[in-house]
């Protein structure tokens, strides 16, 4: 089986050489039907035997599973198969519509187009943006803050009140309107008073009822007698020449006695 080594090979001059484990191509004969020769098959078997004799076997390193481990392995394999079947075997084989494909392509093109338009700020621009943000926050806080909320001592309050009083007095003293005042003379004041009194009298006359003046009794009797004579004149005058004078005289005398 093994080739004999020469003295030079044993001395270490040349590396050891072995016969080829595999048959050469010229030794394998194939007929017209595509089958190998029986000699080549026997050579292959012999080569396998030589290889098994050369290389050591690891029979003592093989691991064998117990019955419980085999049961667990089979249960895990079964659970994996059930999980795969529950998810579906043809999830990646579902057909997509042409509209969906078009939408996907458009989204890809839009992402590619917008990717080149991104703007990156420099450190100076970032600093300016941060300052603008802080100033905006300060202004917003000032708007929401109530005025005159700071603490002031009693002396400061007194000083501010005195300053305000002095300012008011100076403005009222030096005002230009004080030089534009108009003063009335004595005659003008008297005429204004008379005009005001006449206006009040006219106003009272406008709201006064008629026939409210007091009259003496004789005047009232004379007016009543005149009204009575007018009413008698309107009566029929068939007997005017017989009793009219005496009747009128009596009536006049009666009214005069009242």
Longest dimension (CA), the chain: 212
The answer on pLDDT for 247 being more than 60 is: no
Distance between CA atoms of residues 55 and 48, nearest Å: 11
* pLDDT > 80? residue 77: yes
Question: Looking at per-residue confidence, does 246 or 41 come out higher?
Answer: 41
Q: How far apart are CA 41 and CA 176, in angstroms?
A: 137
**Higher-pLDDT residue of 139, 63:** 139
Closest by alpha carbon to 23, among 51, 52, 44? 44
- pLDDT score recorded for residue 93: 60
Per-residue pLDDT tens over the stretch 218-238: 888 888 888 888 887 777 665
Q: Is the full-model pTM beyond 0.75?
A: no
Distance CA 103, CA 117 (A): 21
Rounded to the nearest 10 degrees, the angle between the axes of helix 217-233 and helix 240-257 is 160
* Arithmetic mean of pLDDT, 39-47: 81
* Structural contact between residues 10 and 2, judged by C-beta atoms closer than 8 angstroms: no
pLDDT at position 209, please? 67
Burial letters 100-124, b for 16+ CB under 10 A, else e: eeeeeeeeeeeeeeeeeeeeeeeee
Token representation of residue 229: 């004579």
**What is the arithmetic mean of pLDDT over 86-95?**
61
What distance in Å separates the CA atoms of residue 257 and residue 90, rounded to the nearest whole number? 142
How many other CB atoms sit within 10 Å of the CB of residue 251? Answer: 14
Q: Which residue has the higher pLDDT, 165 or 232?
A: 165
**What pLDDT is stored for residue 183 in this prediction?**
79
If one compares 11 and 119, the residue with the highest pLDDT of the two is 119
pLDDT at residue 44, as a whole number? 82
Burial 149-171 (b: 16+ CB within 10 A, else e): eeeeeeeeeeeeeeeeeeeeeee
Q: What is the pLDDT of residue 193?
A: 92
3-state secondary structure of 56: coil
Q: Taking 60 as the threshold, does the pLDDT of residue 139 lie above it?
A: yes
CA distance 104 to 110: 10
CA distance readout (Å), 89 to 79, 81, 85, 93: 15, 11, 6, 9
- Asked if residues 153 and 145 have their Cβ atoms less than 8 Å apart, the reply is no
Rounded CA gap, 29 and 22, in Å?
14
Q: Nearest Cα to 29, choosing from 39, 21, 37?
A: 37
């Amino acid at each position: 089986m093994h080739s004999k080594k020469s003295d030079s090979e044993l001395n270490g001059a040349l590396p050891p050489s072995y016969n080829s484990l595999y048959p050469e191509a010229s030794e394998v004969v194939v007929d017209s039907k595509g089958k190998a020769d029986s000699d080549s098959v026997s050579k292959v078997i012999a080569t396998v035997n030589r290889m098994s004799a050369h290389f050591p076997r690891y029979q003592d390193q093989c691991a064998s599973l117990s019955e419980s481990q085999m049961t667990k392995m089979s249960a895990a394999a079964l659970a994996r198969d059930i999980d795969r079947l529950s998810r579906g075997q043809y999830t990646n084989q579902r057909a997509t519509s042409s509209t969906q494909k078009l939408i996907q392509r458009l989204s890809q093109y839009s992402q590619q187009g917008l990717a080149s338009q991104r703007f990156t700020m420099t450190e100076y621009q970032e600093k300016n943006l941060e300052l603008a943000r802080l100033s905006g926050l300060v202004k917003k806080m000032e708007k929401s803050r109530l005025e005159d909320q700071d603490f002031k001592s009693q002396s400061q309050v007194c000083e501010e009140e005195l300053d305000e009083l002095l300012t008011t007095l100076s403005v009222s003293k030096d005002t230009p309107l004080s030089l534009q005042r108009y003063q009335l003379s004595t005659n003008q004041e008297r005429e204004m008073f008379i005009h005001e009194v006449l206006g009040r009298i006219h106003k009272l006359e406008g709201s006064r009822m008629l026939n409210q003046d007091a009259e003496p009794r004789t005047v009232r009797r004379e007016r009543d007698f005149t009204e009575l004579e007018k009413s008698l004149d309107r009566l029929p005058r068939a007997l005017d020449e017989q009793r009219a004078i005496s009747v009128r005289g009596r009536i006049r005398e009666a009214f005069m006695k009242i």
